[in-house]
């Protein structure tokens, strides 16, 4: 009986070992891709927003309540047109008081002039009356300049692109109340990381991505780079021209893909097919590690300059990886 038990467990262990060996030697399922010919592009990324070439932010210089607001959003306005008025009653009262004092000072100067002609007053009295009038007139000029801050004017000919603030609200000093600009032409103002800016130059083609038009090709042309970057954000500002027929609208956020280098007819493979400077080439249903030399690297595809041919089949290794020489079972990669 004891001998039978020993034989039974030996059989179980033998079967388990066979299953384990099969499990270890089973084919690994991998996706398979083939290299293809195409244009390799080196891309520098930036983020920005669509703006007109010519536009201005119109702000309030003082804190005061809005008493008049134009219904002009989306409408053309001329330079100097009144966009809004702030509550200036107190300032107007001060102006009226100054003008009353000015009138009194004028009469006093006229009286002193008459008296000096009749030699019944002194030259000092005449000069004092003249000085008083001039001081009041200077105060009136200052008050008129102060009152000008209570009227918000358009700084240019254009269209009111956006209006902020509501009637009765208190406008804060520096608060943007209007954005006025010329709707066309448009540009994208974007920020590029400082480590990428040496690759960027005026005239380079730019492709845009935005959630507003996910399936549409959006082109531009880089026009200029600001000479001085932002040392805190570590970015440089670039301006990109948009064509007149662009569907992009003012204020839209975009991702700018600046094409810094292109190479037509390059041998391309997916980025995920290259790991640690090598590709897994399928030979006789086994994965063979082959060193490769890469060139231009994009976000999805990479150029291979040495080590692969168009007829090779490449394995996309699963997350755990594939050992060199491992048996595999390949299936086409879903694009």
Give the Å distances, CA to CA, from 77 to 70, 137, 187.
10, 34, 22
SS3 assignment, position 101:
helix
Angle, CA of 39, 40 and 41, to the nearest 5°: 115
Per-residue confidence band for 23, with pLDDT thresholds at 50, 70 and 90: very low
Q: Do both 287 and 235 map to the same domain?
A: no
- ω into 104 cis (within 30 of 0): no
Q: How many domains does the chain have?
A: 4
Query: Which pLDDT does position 215 carry in this prediction?
Result: 87
Residue 222 pLDDT greater than 50, yes or no? yes
Q: Please list, residue by residue across 19-40, b when 16 or more beta carbons sit within 10 angstroms of its beta carbon and e when fewer do.
A: eeeeeeeeebebbbbebeeeeb
Q: Do both 280 and 218 map to the same domain?
A: no
Q: Taking the model in full, what pTM does it have?
A: 0.70
Distance CA 120, CA 122 (A): 7
Compute the average pLDDT of residues 112-117: 84
At 80, list the tokens. Answer: 């100097």
Q: What percent of the chain has pLDDT above 90? A: 57
Q: Do both 175 and 269 map to the same domain?
A: no
Give the Å distances, CA to CA, from 195 to 9, 25, 199.
66, 47, 9
Q: Do both 274 and 313 map to the same domain?
A: yes
Compute the average pLDDT of residues 320-330: 74
Task: Look at residue 13 and tell me if it is in a domain.
Answer: no
Range of the domain at 254: 44-53+182-262
Q: Do both 71 and 209 map to the same domain?
A: no
Domain end (from 239, 262, 285)? 262
CATH number of 131's domain = 1.10.287
CATH number of 287's domain = 2.40.420.20
Residue 182 pLDDT greater than 60, yes or no? yes
> CB within 8 A of 276, min separation 6: which ones?
none
Query: Which pLDDT does position 15 carry in this prediction?
Result: 41
CB 227 within 8 A of CB 171: no
Residue 7 pLDDT greater than 70, yes or no? no
First-residue to last-residue Cα distance in the chain? 62
Distance CA 162, CA 250 (A): 10
Domain end (from 124, 148, 172)? 148
Query: Which pLDDT does position 90 carry in this prediction?
Result: 93
DSSP H or E run through 10? helix 2-25
Provide the pairing of β-strand 286-291 with 278-283: antiparallel
Query: What confidence tens digit (pLDDT) does each residue in 49-64 have?
Result: 999 999 999 999 999 9
Q: Do both 191 and 49 map to the same domain?
A: yes
SS3 assignment, position 224:
strand
Residue 330 pLDDT greater than 80, yes or no? no
CATH number of 167's domain = 2.40.50.100
Q: Do both 78 and 162 map to the same domain?
A: yes
Query: What confidence tens digit (pLDDT) does each residue in 256-305 have?
Result: 999 998 888 889 988 888 888 888 888 888 888 889 998 888 778 888 98
Question: Sign of dihedral through CA atoms 157, 160, 166, 167?
Answer: positive
Task: Look at residue 16 and tell me if it is in a domain.
Answer: no
């Amino acid at each position: 009986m004891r001998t039978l038990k020993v034989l039974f467990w030996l059989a179980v262990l033998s079967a388990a070992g066979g299953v384990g060996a099969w499990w270890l030697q089973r084919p690994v399922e991998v996706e398979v891709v083939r290299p293809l010919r195409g244009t390799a592009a080196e891309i520098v990324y930036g983020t920005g927003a669509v703006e007109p070439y010519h536009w201005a932010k119109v702000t309030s210089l003082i804190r005061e309540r809005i008493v008049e607001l134009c219904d002009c959003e989306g409408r053309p306005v001329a330079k100097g047109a009144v966009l809004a008025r702030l509550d200036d009653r107190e300032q107007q009262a001060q102006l009226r008081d100054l003008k009353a004092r000015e009138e009194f000072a004028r009469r006093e100067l006229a009286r002193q002039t008459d008296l000096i002609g009749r030699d019944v007053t002194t030259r000092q009295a005449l000069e004092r009356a003249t000085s008083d009038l001039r001081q009041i007139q200077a105060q009136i000029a200052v008050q008129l300049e102060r009152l000008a801050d209570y009227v918000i004017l358009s700084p240019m000919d254009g269209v009111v692109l956006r209006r902020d603030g509501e009637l009765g609200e208190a406008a804060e000093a520096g608060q943007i109340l209007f954005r006025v600009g010329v709707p066309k032409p448009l540009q994208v103002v974007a920020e590029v990381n400082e480590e990428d800016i040496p690759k960027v130059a005026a005239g380079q083609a730019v492709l845009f991505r935005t959630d507003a038009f996910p399936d549409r090709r959006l082109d531009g042309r880089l026009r200029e780079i600001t000479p001085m970057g932002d040392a805190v954000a570590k970015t440089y500002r670039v301006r990109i021209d948009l064509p007149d027929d662009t569907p992009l609208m003012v204020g839209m956020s975009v991702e700018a893909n600046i094409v810094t280098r292109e190479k037509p007819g390059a041998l391309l493979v997916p980025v995920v097919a290259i790991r640690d400077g090598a590709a897994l080439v399928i030979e006789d249903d086994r994965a063979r590690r082959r060193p490769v030399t890469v060139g231009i690297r994009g976000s999805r595809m990479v150029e291979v300059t040495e080590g692969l041919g168009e007829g090779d089949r490449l394995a996309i290794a699963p997350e755990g990886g594939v050992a060199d020489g491992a048996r595999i079972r390949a299936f086409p990669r879903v694009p």
